Structure 1
């Protein structure tokens, strides 16, 4: 289970060649299915048309990146009418008011949660009066652009913890999530070292304080990549976008 904000802005990496396809720009909601069907892509080369990746083409969503088998997973939304229609509906969920079928306003969505394997929206975190609660998508009647409509008895199905949305006992979630994420992070870091080592930087790379971390012309070693990983995901992305063999 992933927060929508954990997916947005992640770099998208092609497993086949280790290239970065771009970054996740937005999550495209299918209101009829209650799912994320596409991830639109932000890339400096994609200025004319909107590019996206069908969620079913996503191999994995880790802490540092979204992975796909190859760049062939990228589609032009103008060539897929259904996908283009979903984008134009502009369903965003976060910051949307929640109302019952009988017109009672019960709160506003703070965040929503996605099954990282299927793209299904598992539920939402709501601000209700002076507290925060979770609500499963089972209670949702309509995901609308301006209002999310839920069953009139939705308030009786509020959950105290968002971890309950995926059906896992709250006391086990932290341990299970930590184990899986640790394995994913280790695998991704090893892959980053493998892909970037031996490549030459084409521009200076700066740390978060504005100091030069690596100079143009540096031939990256595993130690360089590890140092970049310690600085944070944005620095690793900066390296991957500015190297040549």
Structure 2
């Protein structure tokens, strides 16, 4: 299992020519909680955003994200049905996670995905705020069967409970 933020800042290398095509800046996520791609850091202020679709990623290692060739790099429209974890007009980080009955579980701090390059997000790291994070640590919310990403909050079923963050080998 990998945390999304552990990937940010890694170089994106195309293996056909061994050329770096960018740096991982953010993850693109759809409303069904599937990873759709990796947004690349722009080298120029006015350059249009670029991304690599999740299906075009060969591997995500400890030191780099690899893709087949430079043709995998595409333009990204910020108004599309995807949104960023950290950046963009609509971002997931910092959104409150609230149960249907109105209990706030925390704020989205990070997402976790499986080691086998699965698109599905398997869980969320939640923050209770700076002081709570220091005193109690962040919480882990396994991905519920259904969750709604709204304009101002993520809505989850009533039975969802944030737990202490497990170690990676406990998650899967």
On whether the aligned pair clears a TM of 0.5, the verdict is yes
Provide the rounded CA distance (Å) in 2 between the counterparts of 1:61 and 1:15: 12
Deviation (angstroms), 1:58: 0.5
Deviation (angstroms), 1:69: 0.5
How many residue pairs get aligned? The number is 161
Post-superposition Cα deviations, 1:205-239, rounded to whole Å, max 9, x if no partner, equal xxxxxxxxxxxxxxxxxxxxxxxxxxxxxxxxxxx
Residue matched to 2:82:
86
**Superposed CA RMSD:** 2.6
| 2:142 counterpart of 1:136 | yes
Structure of larger gyration radius = 1
Change (3 A) 1:44 1:110: closer
The correspondence for 2:168, drawn from 163, 166, 170, is 163
Residue matched to 1:153:
159
Three-state SS of the structure 2 residue aligned to 1:138 is coil
Q: How does 1:58-97 map to 2 (within 5 A)?
A: 58-78=57-77, 84-87=80-83, 90-92=90-92, 94-97=93-96
Residue matched to 1:10:
10
- More helix by proportion, 1 or 2? 1
Provide the rounded CA distance (Å) in 1 between the counterparts of 2:75 and 2:103: 40
Contact 1:28 1:91 in 2 (8 A): no
Three-state SS of the structure 2 residue aligned to 1:84 is coil
Deviation (angstroms), 1:43: 3.5
Deviation (angstroms), 1:47: 3.6
Q: Unpaired segments of 5 or more residues in structure 1?
A: 169-245
Change (3 A) 1:138 1:89: farther
Provide the rounded CA distance (Å) in 2 between the counterparts of 1:100 and 1:161: 21
Deviation (angstroms), 1:84: 2.9
Change (3 A) 1:100 1:54: same
Residue matched to 1:226:
none
Provide the rounded CA distance (Å) in 2 between the counterparts of 1:162 and 1:139: 22
Deviation (angstroms), 1:162: 5.0
Residue matched to 1:119:
119
Residue matched to 2:37:
38
Provide the rounded CA distance (Å) in 1 between the counterparts of 2:169 and 2:99: 22
